A and B are shown apart, each in its own frame.
Chain A
Amino acid sequence: MQSHTKDFRQGAGAALSDPKIQANLEGLYNGFHQARIDASDQTPDWEALQDKGRAIKAHTLDNLAYYLEMVERNVIASGGHIYFARDAEAASNYVVNLAKERGIELVIKGKSMVSEEMALNHRLEEEGIEPVETDLGEYIVQLAEETPFHIIAPAIHKSRGEVSELFVEKLNVPMYDNIEDLTREARDQLRQKFVDAGMGITGANFIVAETGTVTLVTNEGNGRMCTSMPKIHVAITGMEKVVPSIEDLGLFLRLLIRSATGQRISSYVTTVTGPRGEDEVDGPEEFHLVIVDNGRSKMLADPNLREALYCLRCGACLNACPVYRKVGGHAYGWVYPGPIGAIVSPMLTNLSEAKDLPYASTLCGACKEACPVKINIPRMLLYLRKELTQGETYPEHKSVSMAESTAVKGWRASVSSSFMMRLSNLGGRLLQLPFVRGGRIDRLPSPLSGWTKHRKFPAIASKPFRTRWKNIGKK
């Protein structure tokens, strides 16, 4: 997917001035956010579950090569195929080539954020293969030619009226004014696609190393359709989704689902281990698992960022974040929005283009508190800010100008001794003279003009505080 992370300010401004989006975002907070709090309150020993989940994630990622090789062995043992894709392009090529080799014309898709990274739909269309999103929200977003607004509620920015108009325009159906009818229409449209499609593509919420099993969590049943109807099932997922044992699934399903929607469990949890068995009535004849790096190894290599890979993609940090709740998902400009997206998107695309994202946070800590595996998001946002100014690990992304860093060095020198401080105070008082109006500096010349663009500075006082303090003491 093309990155628009550098347009964060523009996107945020557009969302802030759109009252409809603001109302929909408010609903997100009142809905999912509150449901998550209630669900975690009602779960016995929630914090112990969080700690255990975190420990397992840390262990698995610290030994990722070992566990991925275990996945590989067991997928093959179950009769499936596995492909390790270095980047988005390699993953797309694998899927597109497979579809072409098998003469596939229609592909049905369950929700997969990684396929958004790959812009897979676009690639398939280029080859004359029709991809159809089957999650209701994703289907709406695809018809509207947009990108998902939220990890688990992709079309939450659209009202029923807008969806109705979209259906009239794209599907040539009557105008519906209620959500039941809209849903039924989507069901009918998609049912035929499920029947006709030659390939089903899904993501994976978890991959079990021990058994080579892919686990899918859905509410609508499209994940079940994609893994039951077509002859070929391809699961595409990031390499961080591995858990060691099938016995870990109970814990992770609790953490993921309760944090995502506040449900005790989603309507469907589906596990897939290879293609259908020889004696089974139905199910795909071929199973392929595509495991994608696409920049994740950069986060794995940096001990300061490795924990960003613990993410279960539940979306709880989005709902909790005061910034996401105002600017919404599109402003972040790439696949992953919100607090975790402000770390993951820059690292998987280009940090210097996405330099506004680590700053799109008040560092209030609500994201860390909401996270089911206690990912310390604020710490990593600060770390990326530091990298953007000092650039020790990622010097190629250093974005601070020479002038600004010289100015900071100058300031450091000016406060390093009381003599230097008195001297610079005196210098400042003289230099500011041409710019002071009514006790305020309202406009500075370039290169300092940015400092006064949106605010007026108080002028440096004619008598420093230290001098006044001495005089007060005397009285």
Chain B
Amino acid sequence: MTERNEFFNTIRQALGPQTEAPNLTGTGSSALGDNSDAVSARSQAIQAYIDEQSGPLMDSLSESATGAGWKVARFDDLDKAGDHIVGIVRDVEANLVVRSRQDVLESGIVEAWLASLGVDVVPMALGEHSEHTVDELRSLAERADIGITGVDYAIAETGSCVLIPSAQVSRLVSLLPPIHIAIVQRGQVLPTLDELFTIRRRDFLDGNLGSYMNLISGPSRSADIEYTLVTGVHGPGEVHMILVG
């Protein structure tokens, strides 16, 4: 008998006689029994809700993100947000900035903002627009002073940004530099964790789950020595959430 079958035999013996397809009703679990249409319908309802409530959700995110340790600033449009970001870059005397290539950043606005400061901006992505190899990109991210990203979603309940890496979004932009700036746009804010995971379930059923997701909720922190809170352990110690719209 293979090791794998032996493993499962032990479990089946431990469980005793049972049906192979468990009855899912009444467990409170969401719903493996749901069909794909039901999940899509719930996702659509969420989308409609966050569009309609985008203003109050931004207010609520602003409060929870501040509580989670983000430095939060809110602007009516991207130009004004750009002025604020230039201010941050100038204050820390950054020399090198890396950015991801989400749509919000793809028009070259970061480069335009920072041109006056003479700061290098490197887009962290492969493909036709990149002149760097993977290894070069990684060492640039290690040396960078600041990483700038958009987000896929934000969560009002917890003050979180949700980043789903892809061809255009490196895992490292929000991780290796000591400062992370995340730009959240109106309409991206979900009320709670539950809505996020419903949408992700729909993505999975559509074949679009992807390999990775990060919920980022404030700076990297530890209280492992004497319960004393310290920020910037392995990830960024300073995090800015820029709300636009």
Interface residues of A (CB under 8 A from B): 24, 27-28, 31, 51-52, 55-56, 59-60, 62-66, 68-69, 78, 84-86, 90, 134-137, 140, 153-156, 158-160, 163, 179-180, 182-184, 186-187, 190-191, 194-195, 210-211, 213, 219-222, 224-225, 227-228, 239, 243-251, 253-254, 261, 264-277, 279-283, 293, 297-298, 300-301
Q: Which residues of B contact A253 (CB under 8 A)?
A: 193
Name B15's contact: one of A65, A191, A244 (CB within 8 Å): A65
Question: What residues of chain A lie closer than 8 Å to B138, measured between beta carbons?
Answer: 282
The answer to whether B234 touches A187 (Cβ under 8 A) is yes
Q: Which residue of chain B is the closest to A228 with respect to CB atoms?
A: B171
The answer to whether A301 touches B211, judged by C-beta atoms less than 8 angstroms apart, is no
The dominant DSSP class at the B interface is loop
Chain B, 121-152, contact with A by CB distance < 8 Å: what is the 0/1 string? 00011100000001001100010000000000
The answer to whether B209 touches A179 (Cβ under 8 A) is no
Closest B residue, CB atoms, query A264: B158
- Residue among B157, B160, B212 facing the most chain A CB atoms (10 A cut-off): B212
The answer on a CB contact under 8 Å between A195 and B142 is yes
Q: Are A267 and B211 in contact (CB-based, < 8 A)?
A: no
Q: Could you tell me if A244 and B29 are in contact, using CB atoms closer than 8 angstroms? A: yes
Given contacts A136-B233, A222-B234, A275-B211, contact A281 B125 (CB under 8 A): yes
Complex contact B193–A68 (CB within 8 A): no
Which residues of A lie under 8 Å from residue B157 when comparing CB positions? 264
Q: B222 interface residue, CB < 8 Å from A?
A: yes
Docked pose: A55 CA to B69 CA in angstroms: 34
Task: Report chain B residues within 8 Å CB of A186.
Answer: 233
Contact partners of B187 in chain A: CB under 8 A: none
Contact with B224, one of A153, A210, A246 (Cβ below 8 angstroms) = A153
* Closest chain B residue, CB of each to CB of A195: B142
Candidates B20, B67, B209; contact of A211 at CB < 8 Å:
B209
Known contacts A55-B28, A69-B8, A279-B166; A267 and B213 CB within 8 A of each other: no
- Residues in A whose Cβ lies below 8 Å from that of B160: 265, 269
Please indicate the chain B residues that have their CB under 8 angstroms from the CB of A66 in the complex: 20-22
What are 24 A-B contacts with C-beta separation under 8 Å?
A51-B28, A52-B28, A62-B18, A64-B11, A78-B211, A84-B8, A86-B10, A163-B225, A183-B232, A219-B221, A220-B234, A224-B234, A245-B31, A249-B193, A249-B197, A268-B215, A269-B160, A271-B212, A276-B211, A276-B212, A279-B126, A282-B134, A282-B170, A300-B14
Q: Contact at B217–A183, with CB atoms within 8 Å? A: no
Listed residue (A63, A194, A213) with the most chain B CB atoms within 10 angstroms of its CB = A63
CB of B175 closer than 8 Å to a CB of A: yes
Contact present for A268 and B235 (CB under 8 Å):
yes
Task: Tell whether, in the assembled complex, residue A281 and residue B204 are in contact, meaning their CB atoms are under 8 Å apart.
Answer: no
Please tell me if the beta carbons of A63 and B211 are within 8 angstroms of each other in the complex.
Answer: no
- What's the minimum C-beta distance from B241 to chain A, rounded to whole angstroms? 13
Choice from B10, B32, B196, B214 contacting A250 with Cβ under 8 Å: B196
Pick from A24, A68, A225, A261 the residue with the most CB of B within 10 Å: A225
Which of A27, A65, A160, A281 is close to B167, meaning CB atoms less than 8 Å apart? A281
- Beyond the given pairs A28-B227, A301-B15, 17 more chain A to chain B contacts, judged by CB atoms under 8 angstroms and listed by A's residue number, are A55-B27, A55-B29, A65-B8, A66-B21, A134-B234, A136-B224, A136-B225, A156-B227, A183-B222, A184-B232, A210-B201, A228-B175, A250-B192, A269-B215, A277-B211, A282-B138, A293-B7
Q: Contact partner of A68 among B8, B64, B197, CB < 8 A? A: B8
* Cross-chain contact A84 with B200 (CB below 8 angstroms): no
Distance in angstroms between the alpha carbons of A315 and B228 in the assembled complex: 18
Chain B 159-188 near chain A by CB (<8 Å), digits 1 or 0: 110000111011110010000000000000
CB neighbors of A among B1-43 (8 A) = 3-4, 6-8, 10-15, 18, 20-22, 24, 27-32
When distances are taken between beta carbons in the complex, the residues of chain A under 8 Å from B204 are: 210-211, 246
Q: Which residues of chain A are within 8 angstroms of B201 by Cβ–Cβ distance?
A: 210, 245-247
Given A267-B235, A276-B212, the answer on whether A137 and B224 have CB atoms closer than 8 Å is yes
In order of increasing CB-CB distance, the 5 nearest A-B pairs are A221-B235, A250-B193, A301-B14, A137-B224, A247-B30
Q: Taking the complex as formed, is B102 at the interface, i.e. its CB lies under 8 A from any CB of chain A?
A: no
Q: A280-B165, A297-B14 are in contact. Are A183 and B32 (CB under 8 A)?
A: no
A137 and B228 alpha carbons, distance in the complex (Å): 12
Provide the residues of chain A in CB contact with B32, threshold 8 Å. Answer: 210, 244-245
CA separation between A270 and B216, bound complex, in Å?
Answer: 9
- Residues from chain A with a CB closer than 8 A to the CB of B197 are 246-250
Cβ-defined contact, B222 with A182, below 8 A: no
- Given contacts A69-B8, A224-B235, A225-B234, A56 and B225 within 8 Å (CB-CB): no
Contact residues in B for A251 (Cβ distance below 8 Å): 194
A283 touches B18 (CB 8 A): no
Q: A84-B7, A183-B222, A220-B234 are in contact. Are A270 and B30 (CB under 8 A)?
A: no
- Whether the Cβ atoms of B64 and A281 lie closer than 8 Å is no
Q: Indicate whether B92 reaches chain A with its CB closer than 8 angstroms.
A: no
Interface: B45 (CB within 8 A): no
Option from B125, B193, B210 in Cβ contact (under 8 Å) with A277: B210
Shortest distance in angstroms between B70's beta carbon and chain A's nearest beta carbon?
11
Q: Is B220 an interface residue (CB 8 A)?
A: yes
Contacts of B236 in A (CB 8 A): 221
Min C-beta distance of A410 to chain B, whole Å: 39
Closest to A251 in B: B194
In whole angstroms, how far apart are the Cα atoms of A268 and B234 in the complex?
11
Whole-angstrom distance from the CB of B192 to the nearest CB of chain A?
A: 7
With beta carbons under 8 angstroms apart, the residue of A69, A274, A297 that contacts B211 is A274
